[in-house]
Amino acid sequence: MNRILAFLIALIFAGAPVYAVASEEQEALDAIQKQYESVQTITAQFIQKSYVKTMNQTLEAKGEVQIQKPGKMKWVYNAPEPQVLVSNEKILWLYIPDEGQVTKVPVESIYSSNTPALFLAGKGKLTDSFDVVKVSKEKDRITVILIPKEEDNSVDRLALVANSQNYQIIGSTVYDKLGNQTEINFSDIRVNVKVPESTFRFKIPEGVELLDYSSKQ
């Protein structure tokens, strides 16, 4: 399975008991949520590092992302190989130029109510979907360790990182139960800039094969 699509599927986590959160930690968590609720669009550069335990190897990819609430995202991977992922509220498109293929799937088959990607796209709330294990405040960042409330056997936990000055989300790491992890860090972050609606419309390039799973359940 392509690693981008696999990464989004992996953003559905395992269940766990509820943990108590100290008032200072809760304030930090609330501030992150409040800041994100004030944001309607995000554009940023990103670096994705995926550690594969069986290979004992870290694979790195980079590109740019554009997000518009609610539920619209475009991820453009420029290296090491070009790939484009476009998601609106109903359909997700994954285009791999080197393979000459486009995959079309319903968003609901990829995301669930506890998916961090939904939080990034403005369709989720941390305290509704996750149990908080720990909130750590450092000089320049806040790290929130989260475990989803809904049961799933494939992923262990999520670490969400925010700027400690403005509470803007600047990265996250997904850990699965097999020892693999996928880390994404954002840079050159711009919020509430105008993003054209055409950004989230995907037109199939001529001569490209379409793998359409949008009507198959």
Whether residue 214 has pLDDT greater than 80: yes
Average pLDDT over residues 85-104: 91
Q: What is the residue extent of each domain of the chain? A: 3-210
Q: Which amino acid is at 85?
A: L
Q: Is a pLDDT exceeding 90 seen at residue 121?
A: no
| 207 token code pair | 């001569």
Q: What is the mean pLDDT of residues 39-65?
A: 92
Q: Classify the phi-psi angles of 179: left when phi > 0, otherwise alpha if psi is within -120 to 50, otherwise beta.
A: left
Q: Exposed, middle or buried by CB within 10 Å (0-12, 13-18, 19+), for 152? A: middle
| pLDDT for residue 60 is more than 90 | yes
Q: Is the pLDDT of residue 72 over 50?
A: yes
Q: How confident is the model at residue 163 (pLDDT cuts 50, 70, 90)?
A: very high
CATH class of 3-210: mainly beta
pLDDT at 46: 93
- Measure the CA–CA gap between 48 and 183, rounded to whole angstroms: 6
Has residue 129 got a pLDDT over 80?
no
Specify the pLDDT at position 33.
Answer: 80
Residue 2 pLDDT greater than 50, yes or no: no
Res. 101 pLDDT band, cuts 50 70 90: very high
The H or E element that residue 135 is part of is strand 130-137
Strands 101-106 and 209-212: parallel
Decide: 144 and 162 in contact? Cβ < 8 Å. Answer: yes
